[in-house]
Structures are given as C-alpha cells and as structure tokens.
Amino acid sequence: MRGQFLREQPVHMTNYSASIETTGLGLNHGYCLDGDFVHLNADVSLTEADLADGGQWHLQLWASVAGFDGLALNGVKVAELALQPTPGAFNVAACVAALPPAGCAQQVMALALVEQSADGYVRVRDLSVYPTAQTFFQPFMHGAVSCQLKDGVAEIAIESIASPRAAENVSGTLALEVWALAAPYGGGAWVGTPVASLVLGTLAGGTTWSDCHYSVPAVTANASAALTVMLREWTPAGYLTRDYRNLPATVAEAPVATVTVSEKLEKKVEKKVAKKPAPKAAAKPAAKAAAATAPVSVNKASVGELAAVKGLSQGVAEAIVAARPYAKIDDLVRAKGMGPKLLEKVGKLLKV
C-alpha cells in the first residue's frame, strides 16, 4: 500500500514540565495510518527515578483480535518509536513504518509505553486501548483456495484476489508463497519449509483478479506439515503478509531435505542438510572469517549469519531479526540485548 510518505519522518519532542511524579501516557495520544506508515502522537511522562537504570524506552502500537487484558501485550506489533530518555512530561510525534497484521479481521488497537532494561528485560509501563476497532484495507484472497502438490509442481487455485483500497491506490508488487509449517499459521513470525512462490504483479484499488489458476515449480513438503498459502505485498519494509489460508497438506512423496525458516519481514534461511554436518569447531571460524571481510546486513542476514559476527550471541542475533527492519545501524539499540556499548563494539561489522 503506497502512502504519502516515502520514508520515516524525524521525531518531534516538546517538553511541558520537568517536575512529574509518575511515569506513563498522558490523556492526549493517538495514531493515524497513512499507507505503509503510521503517525504516532502522545503525551508521555518519565520520572528521573525510572530513568536511573539506563533502560531504553519505546512507544509501541499493537493490534489484537482478542483485545487486551491489563498491561499484557498480545497480537501483532504494528509500529514502534524509540523515545529519548528525558525526565519530565513531553509530547512526542513521528511517522514510522507500519507492519499491520495479515487478514481482514477487525483489530483492537492499543498504545503501549514500554521499558527495556539494560539486561534485556521488557516491561510494559502503561497501556491505553482505543475504543474503536481498526480495519486494515489490504489485498486479500476471496472464496475457495486450494493447493495440490505433485511431481514437483504446485497447482494453486484461488477464486479471486481483490484490493479494497481506493481506485488510485495501486498495490505494491504482490506475490503468492506456499509454506509447509510446523503448525497452522496465525499471523506474525513463522517457522517452516518454503514450498513454492510466484510474483503476481500490482493490483489497482477496487479491482479483482478472478478465477486464478497457477502451476508453479515446487519442492516436496512433509506430509504432516500444515500447508499455508500466503498473499504478500512489497512495501518499504520488505514483503509483508496481507492474507493467508491454512489448507490440508497434499503431497505425493516424502521430502528428501528440509529448510527451516524463521521470518518476520525478510526471509532468514538456515538449511538442515541430510548429510552429516561438518564439525562445529571447523565451521564457526570460517563464518567468523567471512564476517570479518564484509559487513553483515542486519536486515537480510539469517540468525546464524548474525551469530557468527564476533561479539554477537545467539540471543542477540535472534533479537536483531525479530526487531527488523532498520533504517540505520544506530536503530539496532531497540533490539533486546543490544546496548550502546555492544553496538559500538560490533557496529563496524554490520550494515543495514
């Protein structure tokens, strides 16, 4: 979905008072969706005592079909804005990338004030739930959807693919992807085997592709896997899932190899080869040497490739992947476990 802004906008902060007693959101706050971006605006209060630990603070916009209970977060994090740890009451406003949930269900929206301590512990300090449900207008699959796998080919049939957006709002490039997952897909990140993919092109708002039939080269999936067809759209943040259907798996033979993928915005692929792997002691130095010769992309590298960078643990590598995308290297501080000191140490080994 193409919005008015082509990139994120600078953060604007206006201080109101340096003397406050509690940390939390003020009465005035809100959000406004604008294509692939969202405008966030909120009055925020941070006490000196709460800032003493040196943690990181963020505004987060969340969407949930089930709603929210107390300060517990659930659903999909749509947007995040890093805050300057300034004591007092102030207003913050910015335009940031929006990562809406897949599907057409109405979502309960909430704005959260979140603190991440130096040791990586995340704590929700305040949460405000909006009374009006949000509908995300994005391309979707309508009617019957099926996928048959046989002899290295995926036969995909979709009754129609439609865009509910305004006529002048042309989609980003749309693609179909078929995945064999460990469990039925429910939105957000997933782990599974990529089976087949096809680039469809762009779709104007208010229009429909009907009686869609595609024959696509495919790899063999595990017969017990949960087969999922995803409709994905290219955005400034990469490909995002706009709609999906979980289907019964239909395969002709057992797989010969498995590729396990954990993805949020960009694909992060780690292969599990049937042959006996090389000893870890021999493989790890080679990965370290490769990392030393060229910076590793924090937006594209797999967890394994990031963990091979000297100074990055497996946990921090996973946190970097989970917090994608990044506009600049300094944005890595929002990843769990990545503090300023660690970023200073490994920053030269990384790139966006």
Residues 195, 153: Cα–Cα separation, whole Å? 10
Model confidence at 193: pLDDT above 50 = yes
The CATH 1.10.150.320 domain(s) of the chain lie at 280-351
Q: Is 347 exposed, middle or buried (0-12, 13-18, 19+ CB in 10 A)?
A: middle
Q: What is the pLDDT of residue 254?
A: 43
Question: How far is the first Cα of the chain from the last one, in angstroms, to the nearest whole number?
Answer: 23
Give the C-alpha separation, 165 to 30, whole Å. Answer: 23
Structure tokens that stand for 127 in this block: 């949460």
CATH number of 280-351: 1.10.150.320
**So what's the pLDDT on residue 249?**
55
Per the document, the length of the chain is 352
Q: Which two tokens stand for residue 253?
A: 């033979």
Q: For residues 150-158, give the mean pLDDT.
A: 93
pTM of the predicted structure, to 2 decimals: 0.62
Q: Does domain 12-129 have CATH number 3.30.1560?
A: no
What fold, for 140-268? Immunoglobulin-like (2.60.40)
Of the candidates 294, 295, 288, 326, the one whose C-alpha atom is nearest the C-alpha of residue 309 is 288
Please state, as a whole number, how many other Cβ atoms lie within 10 Å of the Cβ of residue 191.
12
Residues 148-173 have a mean pLDDT of 93
CATH 2.60.40 location in the chain: 12-129, 140-268
Q: Check residue 9 and give its pLDDT.
A: 55
Bond into 325 cis (ω within 30): yes
Confidence of residue 13 (pLDDT cuts 50, 70, 90): low
Cα separation, 284 vs 288, in Å, equals 6
